[in-house]
Amino acid sequence: MKKFLFLSLFIVLSLVLAACAAPATQEAIQAPPLPEQTEEPMEQEMEESAEEPAAEAVSIVDIAIQDGRFTTLVTALEAAGLVETLQGEGPFTVFAPPDDAFAALPEGALEDLLADPEALANVLLYHGVSGSVKVEDVITFDGQEVATLSGQAVKVMVDGESVMINDANVIITDIEGSNGVIHVIDAVLIPTTGDMSSAEDDMAGDEMEEMDQTIVDIAVSDENFSTLVAALEVAGLVEVLQGEGPFTVFAPTNDAFAALPEGALESLLADPEALTDVLLYHVAEGEAMAADVDKLDGQKVETLLGQYLDITIDAETVLVDESQVIAADVKASNGVIHVIDSVLIPESRTIAEIAAEDGRFTTLVAALEAAGLVEALQGEGLFTVFAPTDDAFAALPEGTVEGLLADTEALTPVLLYHVVDGKVMAAQVIELDGQEVETLSGDNVTVIINGEAVKINEAQVIIPDVEASNGVIHVIDAVLVP
C-alpha cells in the first residue's frame, strides 16, 4: 500500500509540474549534468567512439519535484513514503492537485493528514490509476467509475470541453513522464467509502457527514425536503427509511410538491393510506447509483409499492416516469438519493376501472358485468389480465358475443381464461416462452415469443404493461377461447 501511495502522489506532482511549466520549467525538467568523471579512464577505443550522454527520461515524481507548484504534494508523498513507488516503472496516471488545491482544504485537514501517514497514503493513492491514460482516453469513460490505486473508484464526467474527476476539474492534461502521465486538477480528491481515519473524515467535510446519515437524516437536514419529511412522518415511513436498506429514493423537492394541483397535497396528508402508496412509489429496493440508472434506459424499475417506474435516458437527461433527475448520487449510509423535479404519481385505478374508462374495452366491460366479475377485478388482487379490445370481440363468428352474453355460465370461464393470478409484467412474460401458464378458469394458456412478437395462444400482445393498482393489463388482438 505504501508503494502505491508514493506512486500516486508522485504521479500527481509530475502532472501538475509538466502542465503548468513555462519554457523555463521545460529547462528545469532536463536531466541534471553528469558529475565529473572520477574513475579510471575508459579504454581508448571507447573514448574515441563515445558520444555525449543522452538526457535521462524524467519520472512523474521528478517532474513534480522540479516544478514549484507541487511542493505540498511532494511533501505529502515523502511523508507517506510513496516517492520511490512513483519513481518505479509504472505506468501510472496521476490526477495531481497543485498547492492551491491543498490550501483550499478545511483548516487543519492537511496538518492532520501529514500526521497520519496511513490516511495520507490512502488519499494520495486515490489520485493514481494504473496504466498511462491520456486525456483522449479519459473522455471515453464519461459517466463511468474508474478504480484507483487505493482500491476505491473515481467518477469521470465530461461536459463539452470540461472534464471532471469527481468534483475536481482537470485544468492541465497529458504531462508525460517516463513512467506515466499527469493530469492537473483544481481540487484534492477525497475518498468517500471504506474505513477512514479522522484526518480523512475532516477532509471530506459535509460529504462524509452524509455518509454517516440515513436517507431520512439527510432529508431532515436539507430544507429543500421539508415537505417530503412531513409526508414521511404522516405516513409513518420514517422508521422504514432509517432501516438498513439499502434503498434508492427518488426525492421530490418542496417545489415539486408545490407544483401539484391545488389541494392535492392537503388531500394526501389527510389520507395516510393514499400518501403511503405515493411515497413508496418513490423508493426502489437496492442502491442504484446514477451509473447504474443510466444502463436502464427503456426499462422498468420495481418500487416498494409494487408498481414500476419507467426509466428514459435522452442525452444528459434522465427521466423517471415524467419526472427529471436534477441531482444524482446523494449518498447515505443506507442507500442513495436522486433528486427529482416533480412528484411521482402511482396508478390508483383498478383493472376494472381502467377498462371502464377506456373507450376500447366496452364489450369486455359489458361481459364482466354480465358475468358478475366486475367486483372481483376491483378487488385487492394482484391479477394479470390479457384484455381483448372491442375489435377482437367483433372478429368472433357472428352471434358468438350475443350468445355468450346470454349464457353467463359459458361466459364466465371464457373471461377467467384471460386472467392469471399475480402481477406478471412483460419482462417476466417473455421468460415464459414455450411454457403453459394456468389461468383462473383452471385451463392453461401457452406463451409464444417470436422475435418482438409475444403471443398468448393465437392472440398477439399489442400493448403491454398497463399498470393498475391491483395488477397489470396486457392488451391482446383476439379473444382467447378455452
Domain range list for the chain: 2-34+47-204, 213-340, 351-476
The predicted structure's pLDDT at residue 259: 95
Which class is domain 2-34+47-204?
mainly beta
Sign of CA dihedral 404, 407, 410, 411: positive
User: Is pLDDT larger for residue 10 or for residue 123?
Assistant: 123
User: Is pLDDT larger for residue 107 or for residue 27?
Assistant: 107
User: Is pLDDT larger for residue 81 or for residue 5?
Assistant: 81
55 pLDDT higher than 80? no
203 pLDDT higher than 90? no
User: Is pLDDT larger for residue 130 or for residue 16?
Assistant: 130
Measure the CA–CA gap between 427 and 286, rounded to whole angstroms: 19
Arithmetic mean of pLDDT, 276-293? 93
Assigned architecture for domain 213-340: Roll (2.30)
The predicted structure's pLDDT at residue 160: 83
Measure the CA–CA gap between 201 and 213, rounded to whole angstroms: 14
Task: Of 34-48, 252-266, 375-389, give the range with the top mean pLDDT.
Answer: 252-266
User: Is pLDDT larger for residue 333 or for residue 29?
Assistant: 333
Look up residue 69 and give its DSSP letter. Answer: T
- Contacting residues for 404 by C-beta, under 8 A, at least 6 apart: 367, 410, 411, 414
Q: How many CA within 13 A on the CB side of residue 418? A: 28
Which segment of 75-89, 97-111, 181-195, 417-431 scores lowest on mean pLDDT? 181-195
207 pLDDT higher than 80? no
Nearest CA-CA partner of 202 in 333, 105, 332: 105
pTM over 0.85: no
Mean model confidence pLDDT for the chain? 84
Measure the CA–CA gap between 407 and 394, rounded to whole angstroms: 18
Assigned architecture for domain 351-476: Roll (2.30)
Arithmetic mean of pLDDT, 296-305? 92
Tens digits of residue pLDDT in 112-139: 889 988 889 989 999 998 888 888 888 8
Reduce the DSSP state of residue 310 to 3 states and report it.
strand
User: Is pLDDT larger for residue 26 or for residue 265?
Assistant: 265
CA 127 from centre of chain: 22
Confidence category of residue 192, pLDDT binned at 50, 70, 90:
low
Arithmetic mean of pLDDT, 376-386? 89
Q: Which residue has the cell 516517492?
A: 83
